Structure 1
């Protein structure tokens, strides 16, 4: 008989987790949590007191103090659970402790990112500029994305997710080809952010569309037209259009043309118009307004008015100039003529005039 020599393979199953729930360990865990809470409150009070003495309020403030206090409390709880042995419990390729630490890290990263974004927006004033809002959002999402991948690494599951991320990348490429318009609008929105051709509240003309910029988003821009309707313009189309911004510079020129009769005194009309401009407070002295005879039209002598006004008051100044100039010319007896036309005929016209019949009788005889 041949001896049957068999060897037993070593067991690969993880060793059982030893959870220590003795009275001494429980007391130690409670002391750790209590001590971290007390220490967190002390640090919180120190930060709040320092926030009243420093100019770096965007870092040292009450919100930061609350976040630090929560970190101490959570840290104490995790420490106590490690002491009890609960955090060493295995979950697949990782442990409860790694997952808890990763979740805590991501949670506090989210709080820091959110508070930083809110502060960046609030520090720019009551009406935040669009570029400030975009910067704050970019910082927020970038911070959250980095914190997310770091949390995966801390949790010990980043290797297992690599295949899933690769599949997601391939899916993203396929979706990118099928959503070229969305991607194009997004890229155009990024270029618009750096180019800054318009801001919220600007009065603009884009192609044949005119209105006030209501909102600038990643994929589109919204314009409120003069008649109160909403116009949504994709950023790709906006980026490739001619944009006229009426509010980019602090002053804007008012152009008005007035026609006077050929029989009127043009020099006197210019003097009357200049006097009218001097009486309008919103017409700027520098640059100096210009009034001059511009051209000779078919029915009138055209006098050009070129006056500068604050951009936000342009429409008000223009309507006031037209109204006051019309009234001043009327008072000065300077005619603003209707269109007239003189017709010349190559041959002499023969006109037959028929006299109306006599009322007294059909044949012109009395009754």
Structure 2
């Protein structure tokens, strides 16, 4: 390290080194200009065929590899003893390696994530109670932006050991709605109301068709499952509109949604129940 410092001091104190300084500056300037041109050409050539994730990783790989070569050439032109520099870097690398076992684990997990291709940049994913848009997939972590515009960094090791839901993996999705109706209601009438509602909603797809299922009798009423398909970008528009339309249509046609109640019996009242709504 002392030798490197002395080389730098000699380099800047000797007037005849001005020419070398200019050459070093030209190497850095021209090198990074050429690097950016090469990076742009390669990225442009693969952009249409590769995913956003692959393009981003390729861009970073080209830049860091090229920057290392350019800096190596500039230091050699400056007359620095690169053997000492590389030796110092090797010792530092060993020390850092012992202190960064978690980082190595994250890198290995990152390679698995990229090879599996379960998520890509711009996908909407859910990890635990966190939901957001994938901003970047790096070797150490995945960064997502939540819908409240906050950034969350999730280490790759944690991500690969967790259940990850990719909400926008496929172009269409199904919104599942569970309803509870009174025992006295006509199931056929309820089905016709819901299917007609889905047909008139501009965000519901007709293919695949909406799904209506009678899930049987529960403790407080009849359990109905109603599923409608939609394009993934219309999720919030569909959910807000169809839930409101179901409520309005049920009120319009007098469909009764039962209130769950609890009956309590006391010794003093005998068989007379005390009702409490929930």
Provide TM-score, normalisation by structure 2.
0.75
Q: Structure 2 residue aligned with 1:318, among 239, 262, 277? A: 239
Preserved contact between residue 298 and residue 340 of structure 1 (Cα < 8 Å)? no
Q: What are the Cα deviations for residues 95-152 of structure 1, in whole angstroms up to 9, with x where unaligned?
A: 9999987775565333211222245556749xx9343122112012223334555667
Preserved contact between residue 265 and residue 271 of structure 2 (Cα < 8 Å)? no
Q: What are the Cα deviations for residues 284-340 of structure 1, in whole angstroms up to 9, with x where unaligned?
A: 111111112112111111111011111111232123222112221222222111113
For the residues of structure 2 that align with 1:343 and 1:98, how far apart are their CA atoms? 94
For the residues of structure 1 that align with 2:139 and 2:85, how far apart are their CA atoms? 28
SS at match of 2:174: strand
Do residues 189 (structure 1) and 110 (structure 2) align?
A: yes
SS at match of 2:56: helix
For the residues of structure 1 that align with 2:242 and 2:271, how far apart are their CA atoms? 49
For the residues of structure 1 that align with 2:33 and 2:107, how far apart are their CA atoms? 27
> Aligned pair count?
253
1:189-228 alignment, distance < 5 Å: 189-228=110-149
Between stretches 236-245 and 334-343, larger displacement belongs to: 334-343
Do residues 251 (structure 1) and 251 (structure 2) align?
A: no
Judged with a 3 Å threshold, the aligned counterparts in structure 2 of structure 1 residues 258 and 103 are, in CA distance, closer, same or farther, namely same
Q: CA deviation at 1:222?
A: 2.8
Q: CA RMSD in A?
A: 3.5
Between stretches 166-175 and 241-250, larger displacement belongs to: 166-175
For the residues of structure 2 that align with 1:276 and 1:256, how far apart are their CA atoms? 13
Provide TM-score, normalisation by structure 1.
0.59
Bigger share in strand: 2
Judged with a 3 Å threshold, the aligned counterparts in structure 2 of structure 1 residues 108 and 226 are, in CA distance, closer, same or farther, namely closer
Counterpart for residue 114 of structure 1 = 36
Do residues 308 (structure 1) and 214 (structure 2) align?
A: no
Preserved contact between residue 185 and residue 236 of structure 1 (Cα < 8 Å)? yes
Do residues 282 (structure 1) and 203 (structure 2) align?
A: yes
Higher relative contact order (CA 8 A, sep 6+): 2
Do residues 263 (structure 1) and 184 (structure 2) align?
A: yes
For the residues of structure 1 that align with 2:110 and 2:30, how far apart are their CA atoms? 31
Judged with a 3 Å threshold, the aligned counterparts in structure 2 of structure 1 residues 179 and 229 are, in CA distance, closer, same or farther, namely same
Preserved contact between residue 203 and residue 237 of structure 2 (Cα < 8 Å)? no
Counterpart for residue 56 of structure 1 = none
Counterpart for residue 259 of structure 2 = 338
- Structure 1 unaligned residues grouped into runs of 5+: 1-94, 352-367
Do residues 294 (structure 1) and 215 (structure 2) align?
A: yes
Counterpart for residue 10 of structure 2 = none
Preserved contact between residue 262 and residue 300 of structure 1 (Cα < 8 Å)? yes
Do residues 131 (structure 1) and 47 (structure 2) align?
A: no
